Structure 1
Amino acid sequence: MGRKYFGTDGIRGKANGPKLTPDLAMKVGMAAGLKFVNGDHRNRVVIGKDTRRSGYMIEYALVAGFTAVGMDVYLLGPMPTPAVAMLTRSLRADLGVMISASHNPYEDNGIKLFRPDGYKLSDDVEAEIEKLIDSDLLPKLAQGRDIGRAYRDDEARTRYIEYAKRTLPRNMDLTGIRVVLDCANGAAYKVAPLALWELGAEVITIGVEPDGFNINHKVGSTAPEAVAAKVKEMRADIGIALDGDADRVIIIDEKGQVVDGDQFMAVIAQSWLKRNMLIGGGIVATIMSNLGLERYLSSIGLTLERTQVGDRYVLEAMRAKGFNVGGEQSGHIILSDFTTTGDGLVAALQLLSVIKEEERSVSEICSRFEKVPQLLRNVRFKAGKPLEDKTIKKLIAESQARLGTAGRLVIRESGTEPVIRVMGEADDAALVTSIVAEIEAAIQQVA
């Protein structure tokens, strides 16, 4: 049975839509607070947010819920998701909350919850919170002196900046590097430029003028054209594009070309191997990562552990199997030596340290392997389970046999919309195009 409120990454939906309302936010505060309240100390929760107008509404509803069950609330203001995770640990909070819908447009918003150790809640804990939300919470509310209070934490920004800076190798700074930084008019619009400037970089910013409605609008990691154009205009050494909550990063080289997460992970893997920092003998990525990455890692004696799509699955595999580098093509880069979630700024700093150390251009450093031709098609369907059709199953098996060991097929149903994603890759681009087209047509016919 599906969950009522939580999805794959917290609660997300249109602000004041059928799912995400102030009433629900207050109940989430009460329910999550009750789950994490214990009697041996004054319990506390930290709350960060991105720059959406609806963030104010949700923030104060959460404050009402948490204080009603006796938790003290520390308001961080606009702050990246990874900063909230870090500050939850650093401030010894019992719970952390991020109000954001990540790379979605401003109309949407969401609530992400973090455990005291900075990791996202498990499915089981989220299920317990859902039961509490739908229960009678009134008899469980705090009374009198036990009611919580709210504080604004003005030092949080400085704490995160100092933490991010310390992830660079000792005695290294970024003097001499010209950076175009795009903060997507989102959560990192203050902390990211300041961190890079304090490290000595020349920083040219875009996407740092949020108005409550322009988050991710034609800027940020989902619209890298803006930072690419600025890189070429300013003759910068590198472009860095974050998303709305700054847990994702896309890199642009000095020529204005996009560097995807696969090339990024290859650079980090080789660099950390050289520094004796890499743990696990390889990295973790999803089934969507390019076969070229797998071949490159193999050439330097490393393995690639694949998971289903989603940064939470990457992190689960990293923790279960002892890896400290993982990520996705889309730019979620998880470096568990430093973070408990994707951190766009920290990941970018690791790349900048390689640039500084090797004194080569981004285009040279981030061309570790040649991509295997890859084609992705999204096929919409109205109802049913097209992938369970016998004809489709037979075609997929025959197509994989045609590719042999020199290629891959990844065919999966989206978890968020009625779409089947058909991805094929192999050295023979014409064969990939033909096979993907055949499967796409067959699914359309069945659907």
Structure 2
Amino acid sequence: MLKYFGTDGIRGLANRVITPELALRVGQAAGLHFRSSGYRNRVVIGKDTRLSGYMIETALIAGFTSVGMDVLQLGPMPTPAVAMLTRSMRADIGVMISASHNPYEDNGIKLFGRDGFKLSDTVERKIEALIDGPLQTRLAGPRELGRAKRIESVHARYVEFAKRTLPRQMTLDGLRVVVDCANGAAYRVAPETLWELGAEVIAIGVEPDGFNINRDVGSTAPESLVSKVRERRADIGIAFDGDADRVIIVDERGLVVDGDQLMAVMARSWQQDERLTQPGLVATIMSNLGLERYLAGIGLGLARTAVGDRYVLEHMRAHGYNLGGEQSGHIIMSDYATTGDGLVAALQLLSVVKRLDRPVSEVCRCFEALPQILRNVPYRSGDPLRDKAVLDVIAAATARLDTSGRLVVRPSGTETVIRVMAEGDDRDLIGDIVDEVSQAIAQRCGAQEPYRGLHS
């Protein structure tokens, strides 16, 4: 059986990996898995602004309707909006067509259950088995075929939902906000929400053309936002990725604030308001050690999971946390949403800024991040992390760090690379460690010279 689902749905090059044939079979397989008797089953489908979204949406519709499910087309909508609308419209399945922060050439298919949560690994495996199975004999008869229709102005429902996450009497009057929508799914709803709440809004990345999603804009390319914040002397800059489930912030000085700092702000605020359901939050193994130390200093813990917001959310649900996220800006607030929601996270931060009446630079600098170096090491074949020589180097490097830092070595969920990350108090030491581990992987697994992706 082929494995189609990765860490965040099915993703790949449009019309090469994510083909109409695959999308058709995904629609049929998911529809068959979730189809129930006794009523008309329905699925909602949203997408970001990639050109290939039209092709994939049409194929998915054919798949779902062929097994008897009605389809409601939402048009361009953020991933968290699709999750929310799946629940509020009582759909049996939610589908988001997006490759998140990837360039326009890629696309993907994310599935949500009727509760608005991403599917478990177990359910994904069952759908994969159906994709590869004989579907023809299980198609609906001519009288049982599904219908498809486009829902107009559904974005207004999400705008109202986002606004209601703020305290009842709070407005954003007096705040000058630059919002970068990455030419993606939030290009309409985010500026509208901020404006309706009273902010002065300067919007960039709001002219999608099918090709420019995430190109030199958005949360993975904050330079345009930094420049605009400084140019317009804004109070804050907000940047989303292509499907708006993640966010980064730029303060009034033009400095970038990542997801770790945002989680620290919210943990401190919710602790003071006695809103935390557990004494801490959930993050991944990639979150900075500085966050962990900061939380410990205010009496909170940090539970770590594998990389991927779905794993963060699974741990939150299993252990009763209501706050979690990733350094990349996936912030999950389960009081409001069933997945990362960039717009809601930004609004919650703005509510803290308004309440404290302090600049964003003061509110959002909770701790000094430890130096952190990340390198992506490509490999051609095999499993580098089962090679004894590589494992010996990793063990020796971990021992050298001792309690002064962390070493994380893991395979990417989307590329044929091993990600080597080290952080600690001594930048020279962690640089040496990343070099040693990267070279060991490259030499043992026949890769080219590792390319560098460094940040601190």
TM-score normalised by structure 1 residue count: 0.96
- What residue in structure 2 maps to residue 122 of structure 1? 120
- What residue in structure 2 maps to residue 11 of structure 1? 10
In the TM superposition, residue 381 of structure 1 has moved relative to its aligned partner by 2.4
Partner AA of 1:5 in structure 2: Y
Partner AA of 1:414 in structure 2: S
In the TM superposition, residue 42 of structure 1 has moved relative to its aligned partner by 1.1
1:311-350 Cα distance to aligned partner (Å, 9 max, x none):
1111111111111111111111111111111110000001
In the TM superposition, residue 112 of structure 1 has moved relative to its aligned partner by 0.8
- What residue in structure 2 maps to residue 241 of structure 1? 239
Residue pair 2:80, 2:245 contacting (<8 A) in 1 also:
yes
Pairing partner for 1:23 from 21, 24, 38: 21
What secondary structure is seen at the aligned counterpart in 2 of 1:145? coil
In the TM superposition, residue 384 of structure 1 has moved relative to its aligned partner by 3.0
In the TM superposition, residue 114 of structure 1 has moved relative to its aligned partner by 0.6
Residue pair 2:236, 2:249 contacting (<8 A) in 1 also:
yes
- What residue in structure 2 maps to residue 58 of structure 1? 56
- What residue in structure 1 maps to residue 449 of structure 2? none
Gaps of 5+ in 1: none
- What residue in structure 2 maps to residue 39 of structure 1? 37
1:40-61 Cα distance to aligned partner (Å, 9 max, x none):
2111111101111111111111
Runs of 4+ in 1 over 6 A off after TM superposition: none
Gaps of 5+ in 2: 446-456
User: Comparing 98-107 with 151-160, which one deviates more in the overlay?
Assistant: 151-160
In the TM superposition, residue 202 of structure 1 has moved relative to its aligned partner by 0.6
Residue pair 2:214, 2:242 contacting (<8 A) in 1 also:
yes
User: Comparing 198-207 with 5-14, which one deviates more in the overlay?
Assistant: 5-14
Partner AA of 1:173 in structure 2: T
CA distance in structure 1 between the partners assigned to 2:19 and 2:377 by the alignment: 32
Partner AA of 2:155 in structure 1: R
In the TM superposition, residue 87 of structure 1 has moved relative to its aligned partner by 0.2
CA distance in structure 2 between the partners assigned to 1:445 and 1:112 by the alignment: 36
User: Comparing 432-441 with 419-428, which one deviates more in the overlay?
Assistant: 432-441
Residue pair 2:175, 2:199 contacting (<8 A) in 1 also:
yes
The 3 A distance-change label for structure 1 pair 277 and 162 is: same
Pairing partner for 2:91 from 72, 90, 93: 93
In the TM superposition, residue 65 of structure 1 has moved relative to its aligned partner by 1.5
The 3 A distance-change label for structure 1 pair 51 and 424 is: same
Partner AA of 1:174 in structure 2: L
The 3 A distance-change label for structure 1 pair 65 and 294 is: same
What secondary structure is seen at the aligned counterpart in 1 of 2:336? coil
Matches within 5 A, 1:400-439: 400-439=398-437
Partner AA of 1:241 in structure 2: A
In the TM superposition, residue 278 of structure 1 has moved relative to its aligned partner by 1.1
In the TM superposition, residue 388 of structure 1 has moved relative to its aligned partner by 3.2
In the TM superposition, residue 152 of structure 1 has moved relative to its aligned partner by 1.5
Establish whether residue 308 from structure 1 lines up as the match of residue 288 from structure 2. Answer: no
User: Comparing 416-425 with 288-297, which one deviates more in the overlay?
Assistant: 416-425
Residue pair 2:104, 2:213 contacting (<8 A) in 1 also:
yes
Pairing partner for 2:371 from 345, 353, 373: 373
Residue pair 2:183, 2:206 contacting (<8 A) in 1 also:
yes
Residue pair 2:177, 2:201 contacting (<8 A) in 1 also:
yes
User: Comparing 124-133 with 152-161, which one deviates more in the overlay?
Assistant: 124-133
In the TM superposition, residue 414 of structure 1 has moved relative to its aligned partner by 2.1
Pairing partner for 2:198 from 197, 200, 204: 200
CA distance in structure 1 between the partners assigned to 2:70 and 2:387 by the alignment: 54
In the TM superposition, residue 137 of structure 1 has moved relative to its aligned partner by 2.3
CA distance in structure 2 between the partners assigned to 1:382 and 1:33 by the alignment: 37
What secondary structure is seen at the aligned counterpart in 2 of 1:342? coil
1:215-238 Cα distance to aligned partner (Å, 9 max, x none):
111111111001110000000011
TM-score normalised by structure 2 residue count: 0.95
Establish whether residue 137 from structure 1 lines up as the match of residue 123 from structure 2. Answer: no
1:37-82 Cα distance to aligned partner (Å, 9 max, x none):
1112111111101111111111111111111211111111100000
The 3 A distance-change label for structure 1 pair 4 and 436 is: closer
Partner AA of 2:282 in structure 1: V
CA distance in structure 1 between the partners assigned to 2:418 and 2:18 by the alignment: 27
Question: Aligned pair count?
Answer: 445
What secondary structure is seen at the aligned counterpart in 1 of 2:286? coil
In the TM superposition, residue 239 of structure 1 has moved relative to its aligned partner by 0.5
User: Comparing 197-206 with 367-376, which one deviates more in the overlay?
Assistant: 367-376
- What residue in structure 2 maps to residue 164 of structure 1? 162
Partner AA of 1:7 in structure 2: G
- What residue in structure 2 maps to residue 259 of structure 1? 257
In the TM superposition, residue 153 of structure 1 has moved relative to its aligned partner by 1.2
CA distance in structure 2 between the partners assigned to 1:311 and 1:430 by the alignment: 31
In the TM superposition, residue 437 of structure 1 has moved relative to its aligned partner by 2.3
Residue pair 2:380, 2:416 contacting (<8 A) in 1 also:
yes
CA distance in structure 2 between the partners assigned to 1:29 and 1:441 by the alignment: 43
Partner AA of 1:15 in structure 2: A
Matches within 5 A, 1:156-235: 156-235=154-233
In the TM superposition, residue 371 of structure 1 has moved relative to its aligned partner by 1.2
User: Comparing 86-95 with 123-132, which one deviates more in the overlay?
Assistant: 123-132
Matches within 5 A, 1:335-414: 335-414=333-412
1:134-186 Cα distance to aligned partner (Å, 9 max, x none):
23323322224322111221242111111111111221111111110000111
The 3 A distance-change label for structure 1 pair 16 and 296 is: same
